């Protein structure tokens, strides 16, 4: 087997991080909207001492040559068992050589395997509460096992074009019953119809008996109990969000949505008794309007995005009604680093 490509590491926590992020965004910008998960993750921030950007490109300042295969990955295991890696491969937007693609995938994850493993910031909260299960039946015991196993790495929003390479190289770890679950990658072009008119008309008017409000720390337990995603309260507390509450002074939230660390619409939920009133559509567009300013850049189209598990027809209906478009699928993949030979 020929030698693997060299992978270069760029820290994203320190004095040079601003320049590194700017260079990476410049590299990814021509590949929008396909590169949006990694692009938005870099824009969002929330970096830790072990946050790194990995790539086979010798420098982030030079444009890759035509036909050159390359990979760029954000990696930080500080928040496991939440998503630890976002990546973009050149093959997502152009033809590729499978042998070179596989070599880059192997080289990337070999490098990740050799990185120091920080203590998870969620260790205490997960170990203290391992009896809960999410809607798929995955327990906190499962998440605890993931967090404590340094060989399991969760990669988020992996493009469908990358999945075959992970399968060919034997890196996918099927640790949960659900296995590989496809998610629609939905895109919302805010400067195009019908979303443009919807935002211009305003989204603030709610049905009688409801009001807009801010989600507070005390609401996060409720939020977590309603979601299939194992996102911890420590993470939810730093995510921009909008909530709809009953109108009384001490009203409880009846609907909410967050901006995820990769800029996606996240943890969107409407309580069952309040469904059918258009609240999901209102809260999604409110999130676009009021909570995503950090992502907009001069000369770059305003694009929001969302992930919807295939089969969730209610969410598909909401996204379609707003004007969302979905052209490919993404996956949350657990990579088994233990299969990589030393």
Q: Please list the residues that pair with 71 across neighbouring strands.
A: 89
Residue 258 resides in a domain: yes
| Residue 142, pLDDT score | 61
pLDDT, tens digit, for every residue of 95-139? 889 999 999 999 999 999 999 999 888 877 666 654 455 444 455
| Residue 146, pLDDT score | 63
Same-domain pairing of 82 and 156: yes
Residue 138 resides in a domain: yes
Q: Please state the domain count of the chain.
A: 2
Domain limits for position 291: 186-329
| Residue 140, pLDDT score | 53
Q: Which CATH number fits the domain that encloses residue 193?
A: 3.40.630.30
Residue 218 resides in a domain: yes
Same-domain pairing of 153 and 221: no
Same-domain pairing of 193 and 319: yes
* Cα 235 to Cα 167: distance, rounded to the nearest angstrom: 30
Q: Please list the residues that pair with 10 across neighbouring strands.
A: 53
| Residue 127, pLDDT score | 60
Residue 1 resides in a domain: no
How long a stretch of residues is the chain? 342
Residue 2 resides in a domain: no
Nearest CA to 129 out of 263, 10, 224 is that of 224
Same-domain pairing of 320 and 199: yes
Cβ-in-10-Å burial (0-12, 13-18, 19+) of 262 comes to buried
pLDDT under 70: residue ranges of the chain: 1-2, 125-148, 174-179, 228-230, 342
* Cα 128 to Cα 234: distance, rounded to the nearest angstrom: 14
Same-domain pairing of 109 and 225: no
* Cα 126 to Cα 147: distance, rounded to the nearest angstrom: 9
Order of all β-strands in the sheet with 210-213: 8-11, 52-55, 71-75, 85-89, 152-159, 325-336, 183-189, 303-309, 264-270, 253-259, 241-246, 210-213
| pTM for this predicted structure | 0.92
* Cα 173 to Cα 167: distance, rounded to the nearest angstrom: 10
Do the Cβ atoms of 226 and 270 come closer than 8 Å?
no
The residues near 71 (Cβ < 8 Å, ≥ 6 apart) are 54, 55, 56, 87, 88, 89, 90, 104, 105, 108
Same-domain pairing of 172 and 286: no
Same-domain pairing of 77 and 216: no
| Residue 129, pLDDT score | 57
pLDDT, tens digit, for every residue of 302-314? 999 999 999 999 9
Same-domain pairing of 206 and 99: no
Residue 312 resides in a domain: yes
Same-domain pairing of 46 and 143: yes
Same-domain pairing of 322 and 242: yes
Q: Which CATH number fits the domain that encloses residue 147?
A: 3.40.630
Same-domain pairing of 324 and 335: no
Residue 3 resides in a domain: no
Same-domain pairing of 212 and 107: no
Residue 177 resides in a domain: yes
| Residue 135, pLDDT score | 40
């Amino acid at each position: 087997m020929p030698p693997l490509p060299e992978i270069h590491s760029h820290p994203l926590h320190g004095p040079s991080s601003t320049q590194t992020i700017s260079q990476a965004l410049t590299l990814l910008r021509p590949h929008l909207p396909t590169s949006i998960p990694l692009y938005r993750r870099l824009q969002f921030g929330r970096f830790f001492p072990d946050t790194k950007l990995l790539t086979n490109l010798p420098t982030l300042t030079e444009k890759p040559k035509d036909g050159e295969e390359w990979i760029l990955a954000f990696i930080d295991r500080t928040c496991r068992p939440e998503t630890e890696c976002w990546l973009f491969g050149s093959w997502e937007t152009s033809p590729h050589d499978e042998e070179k693609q596989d070599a880059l995938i192997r080289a990337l994850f070999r490098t990740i395997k050799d990185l120091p493993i920080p203590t998870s910031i969620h260790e205490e909260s997960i170990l203290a509460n391992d009896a809960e299960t999410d809607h798929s039946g995955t327990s906190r015991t499962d998440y605890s096992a993931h967090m404590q196993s340094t060989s399991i790495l969760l990669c988020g929003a992996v493009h469908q074009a990358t999945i075959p390479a992970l399968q060919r190289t034997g890196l996918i770890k099927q640790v949960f019953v659900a296995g590989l679950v496809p998610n629609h990658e939905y895109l919302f072009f805010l400067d195009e119809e019908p979303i443009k008119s919807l935002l211009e008309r305003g989204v603030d008017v709610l049905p009688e008996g409801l009001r807009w409000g801010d989600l507070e720390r005390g609401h996060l337990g409720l939020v977590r109990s309603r979601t299939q995603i194992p996102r911890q309260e420590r993470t939810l507390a730093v995510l921009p969000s909008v909530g709809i509450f009953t109108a009384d002074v001490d009203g409880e939230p009846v609907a909410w949505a967050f901006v995820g660390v990769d800029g996606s619409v996240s943890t969107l939920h409407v309580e069952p008794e309040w469904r059918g009133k258009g609240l999901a559509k209102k809260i999604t567009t409110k999130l676009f309007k009021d909570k995503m300013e950090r992502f907009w850049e001069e000369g770059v189209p305003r694009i929001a995005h969302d992930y919807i598990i295939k089969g969730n027809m209610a969410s598909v209906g909401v996204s379609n009604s707003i004007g969302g478009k979905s052209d490919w699928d993404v996956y949350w993949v657990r990579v088994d680093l233990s299969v990589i030979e030393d």
